[in-house]
């Protein structure tokens, strides 16, 4: 019968444990190395969208002299009755025997109560829907998630519209009112097929998922780091009905090396003569147009400069993705 020395057995177990730890730690190192080299890719779109949404609140859409309300106020309660639609508003007005009402509302990020008459409320243009045009920035080919607009959808004082459910649709028959110095133009188009939904409305734009859209043959671009973006030549991608080309020349004039995400990362200038002939610069509806440099997606147009709409700002692509 064979008997094993206890001390020797203990030492063997320790050696075996160290070997396991060695191989396990090396596997983790290689796994981390592999992950850092699996570069994330996106499909830059540049497709003009019609955006429609139902909101969580009734919003004030007009300004009336001597009224306690301003454009963008969210009407939340009247005499402690919750208000989300016209029916609830009508009920609150009919239930009150007094003409003076306590209206609880949100203005910017502040909550306050104002005194208002029934006439004040009946004179307001209130709405819980919105509709407009903007440009799709990207689609993630793995998740079918999209990002668009490059800045928050806002109405007056309300910079963070409470989206209940939003929809994006493809468009055609694009028409353009050109930008001129002191007046930013706009895009409009015919609404076609619904291609996605969204709820997120952040300071970097809207985010949701696409459907009814074939992306299999579309080119994927690696995502640039902020350190890779440089001054000088770049391109934007914008699909249009006016000419065959979809890529247009721009210049990146300055870069804010942001440590904290902000909407205005780059200052840009439209330099492409074909695009300037069509648009005069940046127009409303071009927000979200993807920016490409050195075959990588770096960001999206976020703002135009009104007194010189040939110039504007772009937001870094990772801020759109991660916020």
Q: What pLDDT sits at residue 154?
A: 87
Last residue of a domain, one of 101, 124, 147: 124
Percentage of residues in the chain having pLDDT higher than 70: 88
CA distances for 308 relative to 154, 240, 268, 303, angstroms = 23, 23, 11, 12
pLDDT at 242: 67
> How far apart, in whole angstroms, are the C-alpha atoms of residue 240 and residue 189?
10
Angle at 263 between CA 49 and CA 168, to 5 degrees: 15
List pLDDT tens digits, range 246-256.
Answer: 999 999 999 99
Q: What is the pLDDT of residues 120-166, one digit of tens each?
A: 999 999 999 999 999 999 999 999 999 999 999 988 778 778 899 99
**Of 278 and 17, more confident:** 278
Examine the domain organization and report whether 135 and 282 are in the same domain.
Answer: yes
Q: What is the 3-state secondary structure (H, E, C) of the chain?
A: CCCCCHHHHHHHHHHHHHHHHHHHHHHHHHHHHHHHHCCCEEEEEEEEEEEEEEEEEEEECCCCCCCCCCCCCEEEEECCEECCCHHHHHHHHHHCCCCEEEEEEEECCEEEEEEEEHHHHHCCCEEEEEEEEEEEEEECCCCCEEEEECCCCCECCECCCCEEEEEEEEEEEEEEECCECCECCEEEEEEEEEEEEEEEEECCEEEEEECCCCCCCCCCEEECCHHHCCCEEEEEECCCCCCCCCEEEEEEEEECCCCCCCCCCEEEEECCHHHHHHHCCCCECCCCCEEEECCEEEEEEEEECCCCCCEEEEEEHHHHHHC
- Tell me which residue has tokens 């040939």: 310
The answer to whether the CB of 69 falls within 8 A of the CB of 121 is no
Decide if pLDDT at 189 tops 90.
yes
Tell me what pLDDT residue 160 has.
Answer: 76
101 and 209 inside one domain: no
Which has more pLDDT, 24 or 67? 67
Question: 9 or 143, which is more confident?
Answer: 143
Domain termination site, one of 124, 146, 176: 124
The whole-number average pLDDT for the span 259-286 is: 95
Angle 123-125-126 from CA coordinates, rounded to 5°: 120
Q: What pLDDT was estimated at residue 158?
A: 80
Chain segment 300-321, per-residue pLDDT in tens: 999 999 999 999 999 999 999 9
Look at residue 114 and tell me if it is in a domain. yes
In a domain, 8, yes or no: no
Residues 6+ apart with CB under 8 A from 161: 53, 55, 59, 130, 152, 153, 154, 155, 201
pLDDT-based confidence at residue 243 (cuts at 50, 70, 90):
low
In this structure, is residue 29 part of a structural domain? no
Domain contains 306 = yes
Same-domain pairing of 217 and 274: yes
Average pLDDT over residues 84-101: 90
Residues 144 and 233 in one domain: yes
What's phi and psi for 121, nearest 5 deg? Answer: -70, -40
For residues 36 and 188, the model is more confident at 188
- Indicate whether 192 pLDDT > 70: yes
**Is 255 inside any structural domain?**
yes
What's the domain range around 244?
42-54+128-322
Q: Is residue 11 part of a domain?
A: no
Domain co-membership, 79 together with 165 = no
Q: Per the structure, how many domains does the chain have?
A: 2
CA distance 299 to 301: 7
* 206-225 pLDDT, tens digit each: 999 999 899 999 999 999 99
Scored b (16 or more CB within 10 A) or e, 68-90 reads ebbebbbbbebeeeebbeeebbe
Whether 228 shows a pLDDT value over 50: the answer reads yes
pLDDT at res. 36 = 38
State yes or no: pLDDT of 2 exceeds 60: no
Domain assignment present for residue 239? The answer is: yes
Give the range among 32-36, 57-61, 119-123, 232-236 with minimum mean pLDDT: 32-36
User: What pLDDT shows up at residue 25?
Assistant: 42
Residue 265 burial class via C-beta count within 10 angstroms: exposed 0-12, middle 13-18, buried 19 and up: buried
Is pLDDT at 10 greater than 50 in this prediction? no
Which of the four pLDDT bands, split at 50, 70 and 90, describes residue 22? Answer: very low
Predicted TM-score (pTM) of the model is: 0.82
Beta bridge partners, 269, equal: 251, 311
Q: Of the residues 84, 107, 124, which one is the last residue of a structural domain? A: 124
pLDDT reported for residue 30: 32
95 and 174 assigned to the same domain: no
- Domain assignment of residue 31, yes or no: no
Select from 110, 103, 209, 205 the least CA-distant residue to 154.
Answer: 205
Instruction: Judge contact between 281 and 310, C-beta under 8 A.
Output: yes
Report the distance separating Cα 223 and Cα 318, nearest Å. 8
**104, 142: one domain:** no
């Amino acid at each position: 019968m064979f008997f094993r020395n206890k001390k020797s057995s203990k030492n063997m177990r320790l050696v075996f444990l160290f070997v396991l730890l060695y191989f396990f730690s090396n596997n983790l190192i290689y796994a981390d190395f592999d992950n850092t080299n699996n570069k994330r890719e996106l499909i830059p779109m540049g497709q003009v969208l019609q955006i429609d949404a139902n909101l969580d609140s009734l919003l004030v859409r007009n300004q009336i002299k001597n009224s306690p309300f301003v454009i963008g106020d969210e009407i939340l309660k009247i005499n402690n009755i919750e208000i989300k639609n016209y029916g609830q508003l009508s009920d609150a007005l009919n239930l009150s025997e007094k003409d003076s009402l306590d209206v609880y509302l949100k203005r910017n990020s502040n909550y306050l109560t104002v005194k208002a008459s029934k006439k004040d409320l009946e004179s307001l243009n209130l709405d819980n829907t919105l509709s407009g045009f903007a440009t799709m920035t990207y689609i993630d080919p793995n998740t079918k998630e999209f990002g668009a607009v490059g800045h928050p959808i806002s109405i007056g004082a309300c910079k963070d519209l409470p989206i209940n459910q939003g929809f994006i649709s493809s468009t055609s028959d694009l028409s353009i009112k050109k930008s001129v110095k002191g007046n930013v133009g706009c895009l409009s188009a015919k609404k076609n097929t619904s291609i996605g939904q969204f709820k997120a409305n952040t300071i970097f734009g809207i985010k949701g998922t696409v459907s009814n859209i074939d992306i299999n043959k579309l080119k994927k671009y690696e995502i640039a780091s902020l350190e890779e973006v440089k001054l000088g030549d770049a391109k934007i991608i914008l699909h249009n009905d006016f000419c065959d080309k979809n890529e247009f020349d721009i210049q990146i004039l300055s870069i804010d090396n942001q440590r904290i995400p902000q909407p205005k990362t780059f200052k840009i200038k439209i330099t492409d003569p074909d695009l300037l002939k069509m648009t005069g610069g940046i127009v409303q509806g071009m927000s979200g147009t993807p920016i490409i440099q050195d075959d990588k997606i770096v960001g999206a147009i976020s703002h135009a400069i009104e007194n010189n709409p040939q110039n504007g700002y772009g937001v870094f692509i990772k801020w759109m993705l991660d916020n």
